[in-house]
């Protein structure tokens, strides 16, 4: 059977650039293009799709959909924060859509810094995807830094309780962030007991596998969590939390439950049961 693909109405996720699969394309119909333009850093596209809601793509790679972004952002942030008794300061690397920042601010933080290379991403997401950040950029605890994240992180020392690695996939402006040197810089920028929270691609993607191996080589304690984020192709997403002092791979579920309740966290996907369940995966992924 032949299916017509009517030109620019179709968005094809360019995963082949990451070496994921040169023979497979993930396509979404653009019901309406909301914004499409090149910033000084990358191509930004925002469009509507009936199945996934409003979609953000950067350099041809899907970043989020409004129908499923909560799964990604909750799993990226909360497993790390609930391993800490009193988190006070946090850094987000990338994350210009504001979703990770939104979830971080549900915790008792005094300071949250977001370092994003592209002001255009923040501006367009605030205008066309305001529900993702939900006002997080205007919170008085937030500091926005427009800079290459690697340079910023390398200047820090024992500064943050949590660092959230929400960079785009290992292509274009983010490629230099997926390195052992960057993970060591994150390690140095964490306070004693601090935790790094990393988006680590899909389980079977080569760059994601390599990244997970490199993070494990840098930090003493690591734990992989997984979640199915329906707007991304292929398989389940991997998230790694890592620390040198906090035993994130030997977490106390009762403490996770108590902190979840005491902080009165609101979430649509993550809860303490999911914290445990997301650590269970097939033998080949262990």
How confident is the model over 215-235, as pLDDT tens digits? 999 999 999 999 989 888 766
Q: Which residues are catalytic?
A: 166
The predicted-structure confidence for 99-120, as pLDDT tens digits, reads as follows 999 999 999 999 999 999 999 9
State percent of the chain over pLDDT 90: 72
| CATH tag for 7-65 (out of 1.20.1260.60, 2.160.20.10, 2.30.140.10, 2.130.10.10) | 2.30.140.10
The predicted-structure confidence for 175-220, as pLDDT tens digits, reads as follows 778 889 999 999 999 999 999 999 988 777 666 677 778 899 999 9
How far apart, in whole angstroms, are the C-alpha atoms of residue 29 and residue 221? 42
Helix (H) or strand (E) run with residue 154 in it: helix 149-154
Residue 47 and residue 30 in contact, taking contact as beta carbons nearer than 8 Å: yes
Q: Tally Cβ neighbours within 10 Å of residue 3.
A: 5
Tell me the CATH class for 69-285. Answer: alpha beta
Residue 215 and residue 222 in contact, taking contact as beta carbons nearer than 8 Å: yes
Residue 72 and residue 265 in contact, taking contact as beta carbons nearer than 8 Å: no
> Which band of pLDDT confidence, cut at 50, 70 and 90, is reported for residue 60?
confident
CATH 3.40.50.150 residue ranges for the chain: 69-285
| Partner residues linked to 38 by β-bridges | 43
CATH 2.30.140.10 residue ranges for the chain: 7-65
Going by C-alpha positions, the residue among 150, 105, 121 that lies closest to residue 63 is 121
């Amino acid at each position: 059977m032949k299916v017509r693909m009517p030109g620019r109405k179709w968005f094809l996720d360019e995963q082949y650039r990451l070496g994921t699969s040169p023979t497979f394309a993930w396509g979404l119909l653009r019901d309406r293009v909301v914004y499409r333009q090149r910033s000084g850093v990358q191509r930004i596209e925002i469009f509507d799709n009936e199945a996934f809601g409003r979609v953000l793509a950067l350099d041809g790679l899907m970043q989020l959909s409004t129908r499923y972004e909560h799964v990604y952002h909750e799993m990226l942030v909360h497993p790390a924060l609930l391993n800490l008794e009193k988190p006070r300061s946090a850094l987000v690397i990338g994350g210009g859509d504001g979703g990770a920042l939104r979830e971080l601010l549900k915790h008792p933080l005094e300071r949250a810094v977001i370092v994003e290379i592209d002001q255009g991403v923040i501006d367009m997401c605030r205008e066309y995807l305001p529900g993702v950040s939900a006002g997080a950029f205007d919170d008085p605890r937030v500091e926005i830094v427009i800079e290459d994240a690697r340079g910023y992180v390398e200047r820090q020392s024992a500064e943050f309780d949590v660092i959230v690695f929400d960079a785009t996939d290992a292509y274009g402006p983010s490629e230099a962030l997926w390195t052992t040197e960057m993970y060591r810089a994150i390690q140095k920028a964490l306070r004693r007991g601090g935790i790094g929270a990393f988006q680590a691609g899909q389980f079977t993607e080569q760059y994601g596998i390599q990244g997970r191996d490199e993070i494990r080589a840098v930090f003493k304690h690591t734990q992989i969590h997984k979640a199915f984020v329906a707007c991304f192709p292929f398989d389940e997403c991997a998230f790694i939390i890592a620390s040198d002092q906090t035993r994130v791979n030997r977490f106390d579920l009762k403490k996770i439950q108590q902190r979840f309740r005491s902080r009165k966290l609101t979430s649509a996907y993550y809860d303490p049961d999911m914290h445990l369940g997301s650590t269970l995966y097939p033998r080949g992924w262990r």
